[in-house]
Amino acid sequence: MSYHEYKSNRRIERERRRGHHEEKSIILSAPDKTLLLVVTFLVIIGFLAIFSATAPKCMREGANLASFLIKQMIYAGFGFLAMGWFAKFDYKKLERYNTKFLWIVAILLLVLQFTPLGVTINGAKRWINLGFMQLQPSELAKPLFCMLLASNFKEKVDLLNFNNWTSTFIPILILLGIIYKQPNLSMVIILLTTSFMLYIAARGSLKLVAILGGLGFAGALFYLPKLLQGYQMDRINVWLNPGSDALGKGYNIIQSLIAFASGGFIGTGYGGSIQKLAYLPECHTDFIFAIIGEEFGYLGCLFIIGLFTVLVYRGLRIAKRCPDMYGKLLAIGITVIFGFQAFLNMSVASSFFPVTGVTLPFISYGGTSIIVSLAMVGILLNISKQRIKRIRTENEQ
């Protein structure tokens, strides 16, 4: 008998002696309003931060000062529509579309990699030019990974099953390889971390986790210099010593730290950032957290961290209350993606990690990112509608 079975039996016996016991039933409830409120706050903060960060750039280029803001609001509008649709769509039916969704993402990644439609920005080929927007296919891999692994791990974790490899693991490895070649190592890290956490949540073998983790760490130390692109090694070097190339590859990190230092405890006030005046590149995407830190200080940063902490807590709470394993794993996967990506972005902006090119969920500028993120929130809201309720009843004497 396991410890958990022993503990459960003792609890049942205590309840029996007291004259009552608990029964579990599945009930339908309203979507998690706290989660919806937190996400709405983050999106609104994103609107304010994007306008502040991009207005000087638009002014220099003679464009509408709110052009970036208007685009982001349109993208968010589509995102909220997607959220509403997925909040009503039964998450259990998502499994039916695993194969179709896998093919869609795979085809988009191949189109990106091998056709002229792929757009290269700052040396990375991650976007497909659709005319009205630039689609980032790797963003679609986030919900896809959660769906595939939740479906595979919901009953039994079996890494040695041939069918599991052909239906899930091999396609996942191929997608990771294509994403890595863009290059987009940061997305690969996010997806691998999510996969690892889902494996643990599904009660996978901890012994196997330790063995694979040890082999992976040893292999990474040996092969890392060979696997990483030249610019990725440069990012690690300047992260360790930004002053070694202060006007080159270490420029972004130094300017980001200056932004935080300028903001101090309470910040310079909304719109008062100096670093956004052509000093800090990508201030509306990768380094938007630094602009928030400059204008709203450490208090503003703590507020953002607090919102993401609540988001992660609500996501894990939804997973805990979900009545089925598929929904639990799906909720955990989505929550891990949001939490880990936010952690990575804020760590990069504050120089705790090397520059990765990861955006801040719901806040950074980006069409595909905001639409996919809000759609994933919709899935979480749908899962939150079904939960386990314990009903305490009195025993007949």
Q: Domain for residue 11, yes or no?
A: no
In a domain, 17, yes or no: no
- Print the domain residue range for 47: 26-389
Asked which of 66-70, 122-126, 282-286, 312-316 is least confident by mean pLDDT, the reply is 122-126
Alpha carbons 378 and 114: distance in angstroms, whole number = 33
Domain-located, residue 48: yes
**Residue 395 in domain:** no
Q: How far apart are CA 95 and CA 147, in angstroms?
A: 7
Residues 380, 332: contact at Cβ < 8 Å? no
Residue 390: the pLDDT is 54
Domain-located, residue 292: yes
Q: Is the separation of the CB atoms in 328 and 322 below 8 Å? A: yes
172 belongs to a structural domain: yes
Task: Note the helical H segments in 98-184.
Answer: 98-114, 137-153, 162-164, 170-180
User: Contact at 8 Å (CB) between 142 and 376?
Assistant: yes
pLDDT tens, position by position, 219-277: 666 666 656 655 556 666 665 666 655 666 778 888 999 999 999 999 999 999 999 98
Structure tokens at 237: 């070097």
Q: Which secondary-structure segment (H or E) carries 34?
A: helix 33-61
pLDDT at 9 exceeding the cut of 70: no
Look at residues 149, 207, 184 and name the one whose alpha carbon lies nearest to residue 336: 149
Q: Which amino acid is residue 157, in one-letter code?
A: V
Do residues 289 and 301 touch, judged by C-beta distance below 8 A? Answer: yes
Q: What is the mean pLDDT of residues 317-340?
A: 96
In a domain, 236, yes or no: yes
Residue 79 domain-assigned?
Answer: yes
The answer, as to whether pTM is greater than 0.85, is yes
Residue with more model confidence, 355 or 139: 139
Domain count, the chain: 1
Task: Answer positive or negative: Cα dihedral of 223, 224, 228, 233.
Answer: negative
Q: Strand 124-129 vs strand 118-121: parallel, antiparallel, or unpaired?
A: antiparallel
